[in-house]
Amino acid sequence: MTRKWWHDAVFYQIYPRSFADANGDGIGDINGMRQKLDYLAWLGIDAVWLSPHYPSPQYDCGYDISDYCDVAPEYGTLDDFRAFLAEAHARNIRVIIDFVLNHTSHLHSWFIESRSSKDNPKRDWYIWRDGDGDNPPNNWQSTFGGSAWEYDPTTGQYYYHFFLKEQPDLNWRNPQVVQAMLDVARFWLDMGVDGFRLDAVGTIFEDEHLPNHISPYRSVDFLRNEVEVQLGKPRTVPEKEWERLFVHQVNLPQVHDIMKALRHLTDEYTDRVLIGETADIPYLGDGHDELHMIFNFNLLRDAPFTTDWIRENLTKQYAQLPPGGWMANTLNNHDSTRAISRYDDGTAPIPRAKLSAALLLTLEFTPFLYNGEEIGMSNFEVPHRDQMRDTLALLMGDILINDGHPLDEVYPAMQKMTRDRCRTPMHWANAPNGGFSPEGICTWLPVHPEYANGVNVADQQADHQSLLHFYRTLIALRKSTPALQRGDYREWDVDNDRLFAFVRRTDTQICAVLLNFEATAQLAYIYLPMRVIFSTHGRSGALLNGGVRLSPFEILILEG
């Protein structure tokens, strides 16, 4: 395999609305990101992925795009973006952007034209069908609850939407749509972006024959039950039924054609990358002619972070991955609970956070960090419903409220489920609004008050024992240690199943990583003399051989 820059890079996801507010309006922006590039370079970041920065009415937090070739006015201008891109490149930081393929906003000019009349030239750019009498065309469901069909009285037909009704699906069977979206990709590639993270790739096509789904459930049943589970009630809707519910709406074979078309386009440019929001191995392509990289999303599951789970996950992923196939490993993103909250049992948040960072930054494949992870930002339960911005959480809560449950009963569950909990503004200093916005400004989401307790960049930069410096040190170690950056992977037997241990190896170097996820000391047996190159417990430089007792939550990296 010919290695490319993304094989060796450490990526950092930026949620633009919450990263840095340069103009003091309570919303993050492009110039705010530009002002923080020196920080990212100091941390050791090689590439950033931007969540959507496009104009959007924000029905789904920017994933409802009204113009693919511009910047949201609250974020800045195209010239601001060009300046950000140039300054990032000047610091050897690559930039990839989100590309939402499945749908547009209902306020996109394409859809406004499409819905205006049945004979409009863009009518077939979206998926329109006659109803079945007074009912929708079939029983397909939206993943956000309710029918996937929305009646439009202007023309008396229904349009299809896998997500919100404000996110009508594009008709990718129309060659004009394919060309228009390839032109969008070319617009940004010509500008100099280094690739795309492709959103929700599995939803691009649906069965054109419109067969009814076969599940006895509706999407609203799943959403209702998820809220009920948070309220302490039992799970009554089997999770496996979710897949059956959408069997005719996701992962159709035609998706591969679009992935190949996008890959062909990006291959016209030098060193550009396609990363899919998917864990489906087949989208890498049999001939490696589709995506360059997929995510190992199973590591994001909401469950205790144990050696058994990590071992099971990696064994499965390696067994499925084709030769030369590549994955992105991540433990945080804009849709998931923050790892420091997910894995902590209330006893050792920082040691557990360091373990998750060490795993991510020493495994094979490309690590993706999420803004705020490096300072230990935790979930924030938005105090009031009128401060919540996550449409999905609001919809889920409304389902139970409409069932007769009072808001004060339902809202605690909404707080635990909303994606807002991991999207709150970045903490830059122990200052009003965490240094994200000036004092007195109402930020778009409330700032987590933990910024005043050392969970901010300025305090942690000044403290060389901080979590931030731990991330910086491990990133530097990964880059300076060939085996950790480019070595192959195999699990290592240290005669203790309660430790997670593995080896990374090149032709010239071997490194062993030992991670004790337990709150008790663990004994490991090291079969050959190895020098400690990193330790959380003062062993650096020591030569170890034979039995070694690892302290609770100890991280040990050896070179042989």
Q: State the Cα angle at 391 between 12 and 225, rounded to 5°.
A: 105
3-state helix, strand, coil in the chain (%, to 5): 35, 15, 50
Strands (E), 69-120: 94-100
Tell how strand 522-535 and strand 555-559 pair up: antiparallel
Is the distance from CB of 156 to CB of 233 less than 8 angstroms? Answer: no
Catalytic residue among 80, 206, 228, 277: 277
- Alpha helix locations (H) across 388-489? 391-402, 407-417, 457-461, 467-480, 482-486
Residue with tokens 């499925």: 320
Write the single-letter amino acid at 19.
Answer: F
Whose CA is closest to 16, among 34, 1, 37, 30? 30
State both tokens at 312: 């099971």
Write the single-letter amino acid at 409.
Answer: E
Whose CA is closest to 123, among 177, 201, 163? 177
What crossing angle do the helices spanning 175-191 and 255-266 adopt, rounded to 10°? Answer: 30
Catalytic residue among 60, 169, 199, 373: 199
Q: What is the DSSP letter of 546?
A: E
For residue 7, with 0-12 CB atoms within 10 Å meaning exposed, 13-18 middle and 19 or more buried, which class applies?
Answer: middle
Write the single-letter amino acid at 360.
Answer: L
State both tokens at 259: 């992935």
Residue with tokens 């960090």: 369
- Alpha helix locations (H) across 321-390? 339-342, 349-362
- Alpha-carbon span 160 to 425, nearest angstrom: 34
Q: What is the DSSP letter of 15?
A: -
- Alpha-carbon span 558 to 560, nearest angstrom: 7
| Helices vs strands, H then E, count in the chain | 17, 17
For residue 449, with 0-12 CB atoms within 10 Å meaning exposed, 13-18 middle and 19 or more buried, which class applies?
Answer: exposed
- Alpha-carbon span 183 to 181, nearest angstrom: 5
- Alpha-carbon span 473 to 174, nearest angstrom: 50
3-state DSSP assignment of residue 86: helix
277 in catalytic set? yes
- Alpha-carbon span 264 to 289, nearest angstrom: 8
DSSP 44-76: T--EEEEPP-S----TTTT-S-S-TTS--TTT-
- Alpha-carbon span 229 to 224, nearest angstrom: 9
State both tokens at 154: 């202007």
Residues assigned a catalytic role: 199, 277
